[in-house]
A and B are shown apart, each in its own frame.
Chain A
């Protein structure tokens, strides 16, 4: 039986695909695939097993849902578009620069470098996306178990009370249907279960939590702290989900051993949060979780009553079509992929795409803003060598410290810092001619450039003196910034692709200008010299990153109390389809200047507990 609208018409004929049983998928039950749907030569394989819950995606949102639901005894199937990945086998941690033939340089498959733990990137083979002329969007897609959680910065910031009520404060965007008090219990649970270091500072909009002790600042961070404070910029210990001490009731995860390589995922100690190490594998131990990797979701299937019945997908391994059914479907495929799935899931009951009677799916797409400067701190030239790897990220940061009422932009940003004696990688030593003619080396004026023993002395002299900073700010989610189905383009699986239409507004541009002015002042206070990022101006929007580039996309499946203006209710549940949920960045009404992973985890845990409750009450 073919569900109405299951296949795009051109795909339904004259396609000859051999029937092959799945072999290389990590967890799949051969033999469960019993029923076949036929149309011409194309066959749809249906799994006989019916799960309580089918989840699309295995990152922060999907991982947390799988963890919470399997621990409650529900059977769960995760469909993941990327490879199976096991941090205990797929290791880049503690490798030396020369273990990479390109010395850690980026590739199209690892844009953040050859040691980065996240497979995927800005451009995926066979999976295009398009953009409206004159607009910009960079779309990062992870393609692996655990998604981006394998390499993210572990910056784990609670949204504050104001972050849920921005429209009430500045009249822009919308308020969330929930407040801080609704999500606080979940942040509290996360702190204890996943672990995060930081300090309680009693700040109004950067709430306290249950923190592990932070690491002491590094040398350049002490310089930065002094310089920032001089400009009135608050500096506090950073808040990263890295275990500086073991946490209770989790003997499997060890304390951080300070290699500074969280971007490679902590294979050795599992000290940083990643979905596989902290959520997926523990969930698998319940025996309730199946994972189908290399499975590209095509559509959410619905019945004549408009309820979700499962998900159809194409296997990237054999290019065969499959269906897996569940009582509940949870989307956690990332903001844009989840919106794409909904928009591609059209049926008689949901002619505008699933959960989209409001017509908001794909809209209000927004990312964090970003701008940065970097340079050298001459005081650190010829510095003493010691291991200052620390944790994988900054030990201090600056939460938003100003009142926007007194500024020409409505929302704030936080500042991230870096510098010091890092592991050499591709790019090390580039452009020495910009340094060695400019600064005395051991008191000697040299000619810029050069070669030989004198040049080797220069590299040693300047090593470890780098310092830099970047802002991550809140953008205003606008209805006019959206992704929609491109009417003319499909990917290699025949799935219609997204077309993006996003532009920054003056709010974000003015914010970037403010970032640059602040950073220049801090660098100046420190006595640092900016080598990159000083020349931005109004002609290039003050060096503002491209929309999507910070990889904090959200807003496309937003929640709200009004079904006419939102896709989900306040429990991440579709207004139009009660057994469908979306627990990724899509549900965000706005995203503060706080990296969104921690709140995705909290909202996913909250939605999962709601599901468990509603099932008990027979409401689903």
Chain B
């Protein structure tokens, strides 16, 4: 690598010199030492609980610089709009940190993909991704966000962005903000009385006499 570029990147925190790395590791340890016992709001059997605790007690998988990149990328993928908040509003970066620990198949593609992105930005803009201007960041993302039209030399980046988009979307739409956004209306006690009349009408469907007489029905409120 061009020494000049690598020094600049070093300054951004995307690449750390050994001494810096050691410093970071110490900070991380302090972080984990004060972690409280995790609690769960859903059934965990004893062996499962042990496994979850061990998972959560692990050191952070992503460095602060990587988390910063994930946060910026996440909010580019799912920004705040008229309907709902952004990926970071829904704490998607924290979800990604967890899920990558939980699913080891994502670890190398994510870690390596983030580095691929920084190296691309270094080549293009002589800066790490997070230090690029918003315009440069979008230019970079545009180069990898569209699998059918991206340049062949961007293929690894396209693959990384697909994964990043998948995890961001899943993290977002399984959060309280995201579930509200997508409009999922269930997970609550109710009386299923069939497809609403106006919807049946919209699709030109109707229940048969047999269905109406045989099926369970409830008084309409």
Interface residue A447 (Cβ < 8 Å from any Cβ of B): yes
Within the complex, which residue of A144, A268, A383, A389 is in contact with B187, where a contact is CB–CB below 8 Å?
A389
Residue of A nearest to B83 (CB): A456
A437 proximity list for chain B (CB < 8 A)? 148
Given contacts A385-B183, A463-B183, contact A449 B148 (CB under 8 A): yes
Q: Could you tell me the distance between the alpha carbons of A94 and B211 in the complex, rounded to whole angstroms? A: 29
Closest residue of B by beta carbon distance from A90: B43
- Distance A453 CA – B194 CA, assembled complex (angstroms): 33
A86 to B, closest residue via Cβ: B43
Is B188's CB under 8 angstroms from A259's CB?
yes
16 extra A-B contacts, CB within 8 A, seeds A95-B42, A456-B79, A460-B182: A96-B179, A99-B42, A102-B103, A109-B48, A114-B42, A213-B214, A213-B216, A215-B216, A217-B195, A223-B203, A259-B190, A386-B199, A423-B186, A429-B170, A453-B79, A456-B84
Contact assessment for A430 and B169 in the assembled complex, using a CB-CB cutoff below 8 Å:
yes
Contact A424 B51 (CB under 8 A): no
15 inter-chain pairs at a CB distance below 8 angstroms, sorted by A residue, are A92-B42, A103-B171, A119-B48, A213-B216, A217-B207, A222-B207, A223-B203, A259-B186, A390-B192, A422-B186, A425-B174, A433-B162, A447-B148, A449-B162, A451-B141
In the complex, the answer to whether A449 meets B145 with C-beta atoms within 8 Å is yes
Given A91-B43, A386-B199, A426-B170, answer yes or no on A103-B189 (Cβ-Cβ < 8 Å): no
Cα-based distance from A385 to B56 in the complex (angstroms)? 36
Q: Given A92-B43, A452-B77, A244–B190 Cβ distance below 8 Å?
A: no
- Output the nearest chain A residue to B150 by Cβ-Cβ distance: A449
A215 to B188, CA, bound (A): 17
Instruction: List residues of chain B with CB under 8 Å of any chain A CB.
Output: 40-43, 45-48, 51-52, 56, 76-79, 81, 83-84, 95, 98-99, 102-103, 141, 145-149, 161-162, 165-166, 169-176, 178-179, 181-196, 198-200, 202-203, 205, 207, 211, 214-217
Q: A99-B41, A214-B214, A459-B169 are in contact. Are A387 and B185 (CB under 8 A)?
A: yes
Collect the chain B residues with CB atoms within 8 Å of residue A357's CB: none
Which single member of B43, B79, B102, B178 contacts A102 (CB below 8 Å)? B102
B102, B192, B207 interface centre (most CB from chain A within 10 Å): B192
Asked if B182 contacts A459 (CB within 8 A), the reply is yes
With beta carbons under 8 angstroms apart, the residue of B141, B184, B192 that contacts A258 is: B192
A-B contact count (CB 8 A): 232
**Contact with B47, one of A109, A222, A391 (Cβ below 8 angstroms):** A109
Residue A105 CB within 8 A of the other chain: yes
Does A431 touch B at the CB level, under 8 Å?
yes
Contact B145 A257 (CB under 8 A): no
Known contacts A216-B192, A216-B194, A258-B190, A429 near B45 by CB under 8 Å: no
Hey, what's the 0/1 contact readout for A95-138 against B, CB within 8 Å counting as 1? 11111111111010110001101010000010000000000000
- The CA-CA distance from A427 to B169 in the complex, in Å, is 9
A346-393 interface (Cβ within 8 A of B): 379, 383-391
Given A379-B203, A425-B174, residue A386 in contact with residue B185 (CB < 8 A):
yes
Contact residue among B179, B182, B207 (Cβ-Cβ distance under 8 Å from A216): B207
Q: Are A451 and B165 in contact (CB under 8 A)?
A: yes
Residues of chain A from 146 to 202 with CB closer than 8 A to chain B in the complex: 197, 199
Q: How far is the CA of A212 from the CA of B186 in the complex (A)?
A: 23
CA distance A90 to B48 in the complex (A): 13
| Residue interface bits A216-243, CB-to-B below 8 A is 1, else 0 | 1111001100000000000001000000
> A244 to B183, Cβ gap below 8 A?
no
Chain A stretch 243-264: residues in CB contact (< 8 A) with chain B: 244-245, 257-261
4 A-B pairs with least C-beta separation? A429-B169, A216-B194, A385-B183, A97-B174
Which B residues are in CB contact (< 8 Å) with A215? 192, 194, 215-216
Q: Is the CB of A449 within 8 A of B188?
A: no
A83 on the B face (CB < 8 A): yes
Task: Report yes or no: B174 in contact with A98, Cβ–Cβ below 8 A.
Answer: yes
Chain A's interface size range is 35 or more
Q: How far is the CB of B166 from chain A (nearest CB, A)?
A: 5
Identify A424's interface contact among B79, B182, B194, B203, CB under 8 A. Answer: B182
A216 to B211, CA, bound (A): 7
Known: A448-B146, A448-B148. A388 touches B195 (CB 8 A): yes
Q: Is the CB of B45 within 8 A of A144?
A: yes
Across the two chains, which residue of chain A brings its CB closest to B176?
A98
Nearest opposing residue in chain B for A449, CB measure? B146
Closest chain B residue to A216, Cβ basis: B194
Given the interface contacts A101-B98, A379-B203, A433-B162, does A447 sit within 8 Å of B174 by beta carbon? no
**In the bound complex, do residue B166 and residue A429 qualify as a contact, i.e. CB atoms below 8 Å apart?**
yes
- Asked if A421 is at the interface of the complex by the 8 Å CB criterion, the answer is yes
Residues of chain A with a CB closer than 8 A to B179's CB: 96-97, 423-424
A109 with B215, Cβ < 8 A, contacts A216-B194, A387-B188, A459-B173 known: no
Closest to B175 in A: A98
Interchain CA distance A109-B181 in the complex, whole Å: 31
| Known interface pairs A214-B215, A216-B194, A219-B205; A105-B99 also in contact (CB < 8 Å) | yes
Contacts A257-B191, A429-B166: A91 and B141 contacting too (C-beta < 8 A)? no
Residue A450 lies at the interface, judged by CB distance under 8 Å to chain B? yes
CB pair B195 A456 closer than 8 Å: no
Q: Which residue of A lies closest to B98 (CB)?
A: A101
Chain B residue numbers with a CB within 8 Å of A90 are 43, 45
State the Cβ distance, A476 to closest chain B Cβ, in Å. Answer: 35
Q: Which of B40, B99, B183 has the most CB of A within 10 A?
A: B183
Q: Within the assembled complex, what's the spacing in Å between the Cα atoms of A260 and B172?
A: 22
Contacts of A428 in B (CB 8 A): 169-170, 173-174
How many Å lie between the Cα of A91 and that of B44 in the bound state? 9
Complex Cα distance A385/B191, Å? 16
Whole-angstrom CA separation of A427 from B191 in the bound complex: 28
